[in-house]
Amino acid sequence: MIKRLCVIGVGLIGGSLARALREAKFVDEIIGASRNAGHLQKAVQLGVVDRYETDLAVAVKGADMVLVSVPLGAMNAVFTAIKGSLGVDAVVTDAGSAKAGVVEAVKAAIGEQPAWFVPGHPIAGTEQSGVEASFADLYKGRRVILTPTEKTSAAATQKVRAMWEAAGAIVNEMDVDHHDEVLAATSHLPHMLAFALVESLARMSEQREIFEYAAGGFRDFTRIASSDPVMWRDICIANRDALLATLETFRGDLDDLAAAIQDRDESRILSIFQDAKAARDGFAG
């Protein structure tokens, strides 16, 4: 059980965890923290947090669990701000989508890799953002990946695991680099494709007519292009190498399909589509 949870960045991810833990009666008190007082006041009004602080160093005092849920580019500044104010028994985790960058940011801010830090990534979300979009069931049946380093204490990892399980999540552990490679393919690449497709179509001369005739398939495929641009910009930079490798592989596969269409190679086109359908049906099932 968590006595005091401090959520730095009370948006969809942090707000939903706060709601889930409160509903599960797994936390006594929840403190919201960020630089935006108006946003935090909204979180209090919605019952997501009990109170808030705009001074991060003050916010984490007395907290036995801290979740840092901010854009990847802000991680270093957050850890620099809180490093001297954490209690001796405090455990800190994060929700960043690219783990190597977070681990380096924490090490740079603290001066070493601390035993109390458990890198984490909830594989859940929607295209919406902000505390208003948060809901208690976001993590039920969804995966959370923890990527503890060789310096992370086993007790800290277990405490973070218990927190996410209380929220309804399925928790796995993975090496930092392996996590970034897997997520580059399964999460980051799809977002890049959705952003690129919508931006490309928006620049076409008859864009109004194009979007007027967009059907359900277009909406389904491009839904994630409504995600937070700042967050995804930071993910591109933080997971640059793994994402570029994945994009290069996809580029080759797209060229293969284009060549099959150019050559009117019905057999190859059908094979690509059949393989894709089988893989998607297996995943959905």
Query: How confident is the model over 138-192, as pLDDT tens digits?
Result: 999 999 999 999 999 999 999 999 999 999 999 999 999 999 999 999 999 999 9
Answer yes or no: are the C-beta atoms of 134 and 11 closer than 8 Å: yes
Instruction: Tell me what pLDDT residue 272 has.
Output: 95
The string of pLDDT tens digits covering residues 256-269 is 999 999 999 999 99
Residues 84 and 31 in one domain: yes
> Quick one: pLDDT band at residue 203, thresholds 50, 70, 90?
confident
Q: Are 12 and 152 contained in the same domain?
A: yes
Average pLDDT value over all residues in the chain:
94
- The candidate with the shortest Cα–Cα distance to 48, out of 67, 20, 25, is 20
C-alpha 168/C-alpha 283 separation (Å) is 21
φ, ψ of residue 132 to 5 degrees: the values are -65, -25
pLDDT tens across 31-75, in order? 999 989 999 999 999 999 999 999 999 999 999 999 999 999 999
In this structure, the chain runs to a length of 285
pLDDT at 207: 62
Residues 149 and 248 in one domain: no
Buried b / exposed e over 79-112, threshold 16 CB at 10 Å, is bbbbbebbeeebbbbbbbbbbbbbbebbbebbee
For residue 74, which of 214, 234, 203 has the smallest C-alpha distance?
Answer: 234
CATH number of the structural domain spanning residue 48 = 3.40.50.720
| Span 1-15, pLDDT tens digits | 999 999 999 999 999
Mean pLDDT, rounded, for 199-216: 77
Among 174, 202, 229, the domain boundary falls at: 174
The reply to whether 276 and 203 lie within a common domain is: yes
126 pLDDT more than 80: no
Q: Which of 48-52, 161-165, 200-204, 249-253 is the least confident region?
A: 200-204
pLDDT band per the 50, 70, 90 thresholds, residue 206? low
Mean pLDDT of 217-230: 88
What pTM, to 2 d.p., does this model score? 0.86
Residues 6 or more apart whose CB falls under 8 angstroms from that of 160 comprise 65, 91, 93, 118, 120, 146
What is residue 74's three-state secondary structure? helix
* CATH number for the domain that contains residue 234: 1.10.3660.10
Question: Which of 174, 209, 244 is at the close of a domain?
Answer: 174
Look up residue 185 and give its DSSP letter: I
- Answer yes or no: do 22 and 157 share one domain: yes
C-alpha span between 119 and 243 (Å, rounded): 20
Domain holding 250, by residue range, is 178-284
Q: Which pLDDT belongs to residue 205?
A: 62
DSSP state of 228: -
Of 174, 203, 233, the last residue of a domain is 174
Determine the average pLDDT of the residues in 251-256.
96
Read off the tokens for 34: 């960020």
Domain co-membership, 156 together with 182 = no
Cα gap 146→277, rounded to integer Å: 31
Count: domains in the chain? 2
Structure token digits, residue 21: 């833990």
User: Is there a single domain that holds both residue 38 and residue 161?
Assistant: yes
- The Cα–Cα gap between 235 and 126 comes to 16
